[in-house]
Amino acid sequence: MSHDHQDMSKMDMHDMDMDMGGGQMMHMGNLKRKFWVSLVLTLPIILMSPMMGMQLPFQVIFHPWSDYLVAVLGTVTFIYGGQPFFSGAKAELANRKPAMMTLIAMGIGVAFVYSIYAVIANNVLHVTPQVTDFFWELATLIDIMLLGHWIEMDTVMNAGSAVDNLAKLLPSTAHKVVNGETKDVAISALTADDHVQVRAGEKIPADGVIVSGATSVNEAMVTGEARLVEKQVDAKVVGGSVNGEGTFEMRITGTGEDGYLAQVMKLVSDAQAAKSEQENMADRVAGLLFYAALTVAIVAFIVWLLIGNLALAMSIAVTVLVIACPHALGLAVPLVVARSTGLAASHGLLIRNRDAMEQVKKLNYALMDKTGTLTAGNFKVAEYQSLDPQYTADQVLSIMAGLENGSSHPLAVGILKAAKDQQLTTVDPVDVHQITGAGLSGTVDGLAYQVVSAAYLDRQHLAYDQATFDRLASAGNSVSFLVQDQQVLGYAAQGDQIKPESKHLIDSLKAQHITPVMLTGDNAQSAQVVAQQLGITEVHASLLPEDKAKLVKQYQADGSHVMMIGDGVNDAPSLASAEIGVAIGSGTDVAIDSADVVLVKSNPNDVVNFLELARNTTRKMTQNLWWGAGYNVITIPLAAGILAPWGFLLNPMVGAVVMALSTIIVAINAMTLRLKH
């Protein structure tokens, strides 16, 4: 594992950037510092500003200098704390898409200029009646907006806590093999093709391939599979998993960005860059408010200038623009996202793509793999026999185990365990390679053998004992056949167990009017046994990986929205094609490249938690956006004087209080986000 890994695992807030709108980036440390400095400056501004027309004690104490002190503190807050918003607004206007940053910049800019005018008018020109300044609103708006962006960025960092925990799995040193001798070095010093020794009970320091020795590896903390996986020469191992009782030597293959943990950590930065539909909605709402406030302010200024005077017209126009500032709107989404991310992490959910949560309300079908998703994937050989008089049953099993040696596929693990239990001597094959979606082939003693499924035999038109296959498959077994020179030599039948949580998953999907569909490369009889026990009526068996992706697109062809649930091994194409791709366990390739959501605990019930969390999160975001925008819909017309003919003109301080209450409501509403399970 290279130095890159270590740097990522030790990343602090000063090293992280965030998008401040329009592609403008800002360091997380700077954002945090700006918030705290602005907050400290805001406190005396509040204490020395008139509240609802009343003079506060600090205003009296510092009189007649209180207005000047507030102006100085307000100016510093405006320049220092408001800088990110003006940078963001500049970018938004350059893109001709005014949104949140532009609305904030307009509000604090107008508030600042008018407030400076108010200080001069009240203390130098001594105009009557006195002009109300907006330093109080300006400072609090800057604070709340900085806080909202800080929360959002902090949420992204917290979303990576599970990834940080993975990084902690790595040891600090490794036993590097140099000229036949081991030397302890820091894992940051390892590079590709280095050889390291991993001893019994130690953590594997990096991704690699075993070059000598054999062992069993606990990959539960990395893949979610709570079982030991047998590893032989040429088998791949993942950094962070725990070695069993054997000692082996491995060649490093994954360093820096190529390593598994580095790729998982990349999910954090990907999540940071992704903006969900609801967040875009917040920007769209802010953009509409910008145009609405500007239009209303101009109209109000003209009307009040005609029926009143310049001072009154200016005061009302400024009040409209200041009140339009989205205090609550700025926190509406970040607070919900923060709460949602925390709940997801505590329930074993790593959400890679926030857009996936938006798709839940449209779902019609949940397509899912059988082995490893609905079943445990812990196969056990129930029966093995020879179908050729030249081979004994043990010879069949021995050859099959030899070919499967080094493979981590659940069926391979079952065959290897059976051969080990029978104390059979396994053969040493050469030129072993995968037959996509069907099995594998290799050469033993100069003869080419294949370990394949019944579907492969059917496609190749090879004869086999159909009655025996039907008997085994109807009992729920997966049957692997040994073939040599187009002749079926024997078979091994393995049974799997349905995960206890799978039934609840299927029932929950049906209750939500989402149709469960089973997709499997296994035989139809075995698939039907599992489907009947779980209550699944739509089953597609004997599928190749590309067949699953085609089925996803077939369901989508009629306008349906699809969620694909797979074990992250052979389901990459279908996970990528579906509106929502859910990986059961962190399969090294699929979970990173294809899935939108990773179920860290490999528990099917976590799909139910994801669906509930997604719906609740979307609802809370929508509620908060309504609260944030609803405040403006009501107060902007009031500030413009729409009720003035009836003697009511909104006092800016009353608007500020309503604004504060709206912000509090948004915060409380976000914190009430819950998961029942």
Q: What is the CATH number of the domain that holds 443?
A: 3.40.1110.10
The pLDDT confidence band at residue 162, using thresholds 50, 70 and 90, is very low
Q: Looking at the structure, do residues 190 and 294 belong to the same domain, yes or no?
A: no
Q: What angle do CA 503, 569, 539 make, to 5 degrees?
A: 40
Using the predicted structure, report yes or no on whether residue 279 has a pLDDT greater than 70. Answer: no
What is the model's pLDDT at position 191?
87
What is the model's pLDDT at position 662?
75
606, 507 contact by CB (below 8 A): no
What is the model's pLDDT at position 326?
62
CA 297/CA 591 separation, integer angstroms: 51
Tokens of 337: 């996202």
CA 608/CA 605 separation, integer angstroms: 5
Residue 460 inside a domain? The answer is: yes
Quick one: the chain helix, strand, coil %, rounded to 5?
55, 20, 30
Q: What is the pTM of this model?
A: 0.60
What is the model's pLDDT at position 50?
64
Mean pLDDT for the chain overall: 79
Using the predicted structure, report yes or no on whether residue 495 has a pLDDT greater than 50. Answer: yes
**Could you tell me how many residues make up the chain?**
677
Query: When comparing pLDDT for 366 and 411, which is higher?
Result: 366
Residue 120 inside a domain? The answer is: no
Question: Residue holding tokens 């108010």?
Answer: 118
Q: Looking at the structure, do residues 491 and 408 belong to the same domain, yes or no?
A: yes
The arithmetic mean of pLDDT across residues 620-630, rounded, is 83
Coil/strand/helix, residue 670:
helix
Coil/strand/helix, residue 95:
coil
Strand 447-452 versus strand 173-178 pairing type:
unpaired
User: pLDDT (tens digit, 9 = 90+) per residue, 331-357?
Assistant: 777 778 778 877 887 777 877 777 788
Using the predicted structure, report yes or no on whether residue 497 has a pLDDT greater than 60. Answer: yes
CA 508/CA 366 separation, integer angstroms: 11
Highest mean pLDDT among 66-70, 538-542, 621-625: 538-542
What is the model's pLDDT at position 499?
85
Using the predicted structure, report yes or no on whether residue 175 has a pLDDT greater than 90. Answer: yes
Using the predicted structure, report yes or no on whether residue 158 has a pLDDT greater than 80. Answer: no
Q: Looking at the structure, do residues 524 and 671 belong to the same domain, yes or no?
A: no
CATH of the domain at 244: 2.70.150.10
CA 148/CA 628 separation, integer angstroms: 13
Q: Looking at the structure, do residues 585 and 618 belong to the same domain, yes or no?
A: no
What type of residue is 243? N
Using the predicted structure, report yes or no on whether residue 257 has a pLDDT greater than 70. Answer: no
| Final residue before a domain boundary, out of 230, 250, 267 | 267
What is residue 641's DSSP assignment?
A: T
Residue 458 inside a domain? The answer is: yes
The pLDDT confidence band at residue 386, using thresholds 50, 70 and 90, is very high
Q: Where are the alpha helices (DSSP H) in 274-326?
A: 277-307, 310-323
The pLDDT confidence band at residue 509, using thresholds 50, 70 and 90, is very high
The arithmetic mean of pLDDT across residues 313-334, rounded, is 76
What is the model's pLDDT at position 612?
92
Tokens of 666: 């948004």
Using the predicted structure, report yes or no on whether residue 274 has a pLDDT greater than 50. Answer: no
The arithmetic mean of pLDDT across residues 372-388, rounded, is 86
Q: Looking at the structure, do residues 297 and 219 belong to the same domain, yes or no?
A: no
Q: Looking at the structure, do residues 393 and 465 belong to the same domain, yes or no?
A: yes
Residue 667 inside a domain? The answer is: yes
Torsion of CA 291, 295, 300, 301, to 10 degrees: 100
Residue 205 inside a domain? The answer is: yes
Residue 291 inside a domain? The answer is: yes
What is the model's pLDDT at position 281?
66
Q: Looking at the structure, do residues 432 and 294 belong to the same domain, yes or no?
A: no
Q: Looking at the structure, do residues 300 and 253 belong to the same domain, yes or no?
A: no
User: pLDDT (tens digit, 9 = 90+) per residue, 129-141?
Assistant: 777 777 888 888 8
332: number of Cβ within 10 Å: 33
The pLDDT confidence band at residue 389, using thresholds 50, 70 and 90, is very high
CATH of the domain at 539: 3.40.50.1000
The pLDDT confidence band at residue 235, using thresholds 50, 70 and 90, is confident
Backbone angles phi, psi at 431, to 5 degrees: 55, 50
456, 500 contact by CB (below 8 A): no
What is the model's pLDDT at position 225?
46
Backbone angles phi, psi at 455, to 5 degrees: -60, -35
622: number of Cβ within 10 Å: 14
Using the predicted structure, report yes or no on whether residue 534 has a pLDDT greater than 80. Answer: yes
- CA-wise closest residue to 441 among 495, 486, 472, 393: 486
600: number of Cβ within 10 Å: 24
Highest mean pLDDT among 61-75, 127-141, 381-395, 434-448: 381-395
What is the model's pLDDT at position 133?
78
Tokens of 512: 């939500």
Q: How many CA atoms lie within 13 A of 656 on its CB side?
A: 23
The pLDDT confidence band at residue 587, using thresholds 50, 70 and 90, is very low
Burial class (CB in 10 A: 0-12, 13-18, 19+), 286: buried
Q: Give strand pairing partners of 176.
A: 183, 196
The pLDDT confidence band at residue 468, using thresholds 50, 70 and 90, is very high
The arithmetic mean of pLDDT across residues 643-649, rounded, is 82
Q: Looking at the structure, do residues 589 and 667 belong to the same domain, yes or no?
A: no
Residue 660 inside a domain? The answer is: yes
Structural domain that includes position 648: 275-330+613-677
| Final residue before a domain boundary, out of 600, 631, 649 | 600
User: In the chain, how many domains are there?
Assistant: 4
The arithmetic mean of pLDDT across residues 89-114, rounded, is 84
Q: Looking at the structure, do residues 481 and 384 belong to the same domain, yes or no?
A: yes
Q: Which of 95-99, 107-111, 164-168, 389-393 has the lowest mean pLDDT?
A: 164-168
Q: Over the range 641-666, which residues count as b (16 or more CB within 10 Å of their CB) and which as e?
A: beebeeeebbebbebbebbeebbebb
CA 639/CA 655 separation, integer angstroms: 8
Burial class (CB in 10 A: 0-12, 13-18, 19+), 342: middle
Q: What angle do CA 64, 70, 71 make, to 5 degrees?
A: 100
Using the predicted structure, report yes or no on whether residue 14 has a pLDDT greater than 80. Answer: no
What is the model's pLDDT at position 593?
58
Q: How many CA atoms lie within 13 A of 54 on its CB side?
A: 6
Q: Looking at the structure, do residues 571 and 432 belong to the same domain, yes or no?
A: no
Query: When comparing pLDDT for 648 and 479, which is higher?
Result: 479
The arithmetic mean of pLDDT across residues 291-318, rounded, is 87
| Final residue before a domain boundary, out of 225, 242, 267 | 267
What is the model's pLDDT at position 557?
92
The arithmetic mean of pLDDT across residues 584-600, rounded, is 63
CA 580/CA 362 separation, integer angstroms: 11
CA 331/CA 326 separation, integer angstroms: 9
514, 582 contact by CB (below 8 A): no
Strand 242-243 versus strand 562-566 pairing type:
unpaired
Residue 396 inside a domain? The answer is: yes
Residues annotated as catalytic are 369
CA 301/CA 114 separation, integer angstroms: 14
Q: Looking at the structure, do residues 388 and 489 belong to the same domain, yes or no?
A: yes
Query: When comparing pLDDT for 488 and 53, which is higher?
Result: 488
